[in-house]
Amino acid sequence: MENSKIELKGVQETLLLPLWGRAVETRKEKPLLRDIEAVRIIDSIDCNFDQISSKVNPLSRASWIARSIYFDDKIKNYLEKNPEGTIINIGCGLDTTYERVNNGKAMWYEVDFPEVIEIRRQLINETSQRKFLAYSVFNEEWYSEISDTDNILIMIAGVIYYFTENQAQDLFRTFENKFKKCTIIFDYSSLRGIKIANRKVIEDSGMDEDAYLKWGIDNIKEIEKWSHRIKVVDNMKMFTEHRKKYPVSKRLGMWISDALSVMSLAQITIG
């Protein structure tokens, strides 16, 4: 079988990076995360990953794994309490969380631009309990596809810093209007982190300015001012738990990143 040829531009190019990172981690002798689906997809894509492998900062790759582990744990906890719950994956790209944590009972919706969903459908199976929604997240038509509006879990992985602050506010306010109650898990960047990422991750990877990160926030509690119904229930630096899994000799970069508050992980509730 011939490998799939895909064409990606701007921000869409970045969807390959965490997928590739999870595949690399899975192939290690003692992986911190096993993602067999990521390996399958990477092996099926007709793409030269030499530039990615030579330019990506090891800390960036470690952050993709740390984020996946954090999200997996939060989703598993949610599914234990809500086995038939609803999970919405915003900006799903080529994310494969479903394959790692799905319990066979929950309903999943995965939202991204039509051109990304087209690629996703070439590589990943859509099922009756896993719907791909081909919309910009700001096109409110996709909400009509959601059958349950109570106690939703929303994951936003590697996406929110591509929005402006006004766009992020509008999105969370729309969640507030559309859902009776929802929990949102996401990763976010500090203002310093935005500058570092744009210089190291994007420019060094040869991508264009459309892929630059835009919104950063130093104190995540500030978003509680957006609405009295928003509450931050969990927040930690990207490598707080993750670096403990590495030899001491490899922890320095992670410690520095956390000390500078470059990237963090958060869980909030609305409702």
Domain harbouring 33, CATH code: 3.40.50.150
Count of structural domains, the chain: 1
All residue ranges of the chain with pLDDT < 70 are 1-14, 51-53, 55, 200-211
Adjacency order of strands within the sheet including 182-189:
130-134, 107-112, 86-90, 152-156, 182-189, 263-270, 230-237
| Domain-embedded: residue 2 | no
pLDDT of res. 13: 61
Separation CA 77–CA 73 (nearest Å): 6
**Considering the domain boundaries, does residue 93 fall inside one?**
yes
Give the domain range for residue 259: 10-270
What are the φ and ψ backbone dihedral angles of 130, each rounded to 5 degrees? Answer: -145, 95
Please list the residues that pair with 183 across neighbouring strands. Answer: 153, 269
Q: Are 69 and 242 in contact (CB under 8 A)?
A: yes
Residue 106, domain member (yes or no): yes
End-to-end, the C-alpha distance of the chain in Å comes to 49
Residue 209 lies in a domain: yes
- What local confidence, expressed as pLDDT, does residue 87 receive? 98
User: How much is the pLDDT for 1?
Assistant: 42
**Is residue 90 assigned to a domain?**
yes
